[in-house]
A = this chain, B = another copy of it.
Amino acid sequence: MKRIHDFEALPSRYRANLINSIPGFKPVSLVGTINENGAENLAIFNSFFHIGANPPLLGMVFRPEGEVERHTLENIRKTGCYTINHLNKDIVVNGHHAGAKFPACISEFKACGLTPWYSATLLAPYVKESTIKIGMHLHSEIPIAANNTILVIGTVTEIWLPENVLSEDGFVNLAQAGTLAGSNLDAYYEAIRLVRLSYPKPDSVPSQI
C-alpha cells in the first residue's frame, strides 16, 4: 500500500487527476441551458448529488466566480431552469467534447454533434440522444466559502426515460439504460449490475433482491 499525503508538494496536474479520481465513480451528465436570447448551451458536469427525495432535490457544484466563463450558471440564473442528460456509449466523445471552452456565441449542441430536444413544459433544451433526461428548476444557491465554489440546488420537475428501465418499485436500471459512470474529468466506464440488496437490518445479513 502506498501512502500519499503531501498534496501541496504534488505537481498541479498530478494533484488534480488524483483528487478528481480518488472519491470513486461519478454521475457524469450533460447540462442543457438556454439564454434570454434563445442561444442554447451544453456542458459536462460530474458533481451531481442527492439532497432529498421529497421534495426531489439534486445538488451540483460550480467553480469559483470569475475563474472561468460560466454560461451554464448564467443561463440557469436567468431562466431558472436546466436539464441533466445521462451520457451513454454512443455519445461519450460528443459529450466529452462539450467540456471544451467554446465561446458564448457557439452552441455546443451543434459543435459536438448533439441534438437539442424540448419538452412542452421546460424552457431549457434536453439532449435528444440521452436515454435518461431530467428537467430541473433552480431552487437556491449556496456559496461554499472553503474555496469560493457555488452549490446550486435544483428541484426535479420532470423525468424522461424508456419504460423498460423503470422497475415496478421506482428503481431505475442504469446499466440497462446504458448510462455511463465517470471518474476524474476524462475517464468513462460502463457498468455491470452486480447485486441489489435487501434493506439492511441489524440482526440479519442482507440478501439479494
Contact = CB atoms under 8 A, between A and B. Distances in A.
A35 interface: no
A106 B201 CA distance: 13
A153 B146 contact: yes
B149 A144 contact: no
Interface residues on A, range: 35 or more
Contacts of A163: 2
A121 B86 CA distance: 40
A57 to B, nearest CB: 6
Given A102-B202, A190-B191, A191-B189, A22 B144 contact: no
A68 interface: no
Given A170-B16, A174-B183, A206-B97, A146 B139 contact: yes
Interface in A162-209: 162-163, 166-167, 169-172, 174-175, 179-181, 183-184, 186-202, 205-206, 209
A123 interface: no
A200 B202 CA distance: 47
A172 B53 contact: no
Given A93-B206, A191-B181, A197-B186, A23 B50 contact: yes
B200 A159 contact: no
A63 to B, nearest CB: 9
B61 A17 contact: no
Contacts of A7: 54-56, 156
Contacts of A24: 26-29, 48, 86, 132, 174, 179, 181
A92 interface: yes
Contacts of A103: 202
Nearest to A86: B24
B97 A205 contact: yes
| A149, A193, A206: residue with the most chain B Cβ atoms closer than 10 Å | A206
B184 A181 contact: no
Interface in A112-140: 119, 121, 132, 134, 139-140
